[in-house]
Structure 1
């Protein structure tokens, strides 16, 4: 029989963090799951670390050939999933206790919902909390998919959170076409919305886990490209769902996307200083 839940990890150069990520999933206490991990040609010891779980019946280890970007590995692990529900967890993030059971229970109780979503914390390299709560809190409500799509466009940012914050009904995810990498920096947000065209989102107020910030996220050029792709996706969403994303929604979202890029850059500068100071303090 297929498990209720497939948790999938697209790993790439995560040797420093992947053990914590895997442990945070397997120690949830949710028994009816499979964990599928694919290493995407890592140049560090990610594959070696993963072999700690090679004898665990819950765990399947795969290798994805190099190339194809993040989409190739996200697709690889997701295509291998067999569960009723699907949750993707990047190889450096961590889940908080109880979140798997909470998302499954929320989807079980809301048959019209195609995904569950939770807020999260932002953490540093040592999993110390930097920002305690971030992301939309749907208050445990079932929100119509059209309302949720409009909300994320108008916000100019991903209100659902990173992939580990979301659990899909796998059949709805597959029917919607899987991961949409038309705008690579918005692969998660764009995919959520494509699935939400077929159903609703149910909010789970408890924190999903910790999103790990790293120094690769400080680039001005990266922030500008994220803003550009967000505006491109707003245009695509308006074409796909003209009665949901209206011209005024798109204009507001474009404005906020530009503003979000600037505030994100400033926030990263502040957080980088805090992380650097904390690292210096721990090494002294």
Structure 2
């Protein structure tokens, strides 16, 4: 029998954090899952570290040829998954205890839902909490998928969370096109919206885990490119699904995408200074 859940880790140069990430998956109380890890041509010791799980029956180890960006490895691990549900966990983030069970139970209880989503914490390189809770609070447990897509566009940002915050019903997600590579900086948000155009969102209020902050994230150029891609994504949704995303929704989302990108960049500047100061004092 295939597992209920496939947890997939597309690893790339994650030697500093991969062991902690994998342990956060394997130590879950919920046990009806498989773990698929694929190394995407890492130049550090990621592949060598992965060998410690070679004899674990729950774990499948793969290699993805270099090239193709994140989409290539995300597709690789997803194609190898066999579970009814799919949860992608980047190789430097952390799952909190019991989050796998909560998401599976939420999707089981709401068969009309294709996406389960939770808020998260933000953590630094030492796994210390920087921000205790981050994420949208939905007014209902189940949100109509088209309403969730519209809310994401109007917010100008990904309101669903990073990949580890989300569990997908695998078959309809794959049937809808799977991971969306057209807008690389929005690969997670755009892909969730694909699933939400064919099903609903179930909101799970407990924290999913810890998103690892990097002091190299969000340069000026990256913020500008992320904003540009967000506007392109909004335009595509308006053109293909004007019943979901109106011209007014698109305009509002475009303005907010610019603001969000710049605000996030400034926030990373502040966080970088805080994290550097903390590292210097040993705190």
TM-score tier (shorter): over 0.9
Q: How far is the alpha carbon of 1:73 from its aligned partner?
A: 0.2
Q: How far is the alpha carbon of 1:271 from its aligned partner?
A: 0.3
- Counterpart-to-counterpart distance in 1, 2:251 and 2:166: 27
- Counterpart-to-counterpart distance in 1, 2:79 and 2:280: 42
What does 1:106-145 align with in structure 2 at a 5 Å threshold?
Answer: 106-138=106-138, 141-145=141-145
What does 1:1-284 align with in structure 2 at a 5 Å threshold?
Answer: 1-138=1-138, 141-282=141-282
**TM-score using structure 1 length:** 0.98
Q: How far is the alpha carbon of 1:131 from its aligned partner?
A: 1.0
Aligned residues: 283
Any gaps of 5 or more consecutive residues in structure 1?
none
Does the residue aligned with 2:133 lie in a helix, a strand or coil? strand
Does the residue aligned with 1:116 lie in a helix, a strand or coil? strand
Contact 1:114 1:172 in 2 (8 A): yes
Does the residue aligned with 2:132 lie in a helix, a strand or coil? strand
Q: Deviations over 1:136-185 (max 9, x none)?
A: 12256100001000000000000001100100011111111110010000
- Counterpart-to-counterpart distance in 2, 1:245 and 1:14: 37
- State the superposition RMSD in angstroms: 0.9
Q: Deviations over 1:29-73 (max 9, x none)?
A: 111100000000100000111111111000000000001110000
- Counterpart-to-counterpart distance in 1, 2:153 and 2:278: 36
Contact 1:139 1:204 in 2 (8 A): no
**TM-score using structure 2 length:** 0.98
Q: For the structure 1 residues 252 and 220, does the alpha-carbon distance in structure 2 shift closer, same or farther, using more than 3 Å as the test?
A: same
Contact 1:118 1:166 in 2 (8 A): yes
- Counterpart-to-counterpart distance in 1, 2:278 and 2:79: 40
Any gaps of 5 or more consecutive residues in structure 2?
none
Q: For the structure 1 residues 140 and 4, does the alpha-carbon distance in structure 2 shift closer, same or farther, using more than 3 Å as the test?
A: farther
- Counterpart-to-counterpart distance in 2, 1:36 and 1:138: 31
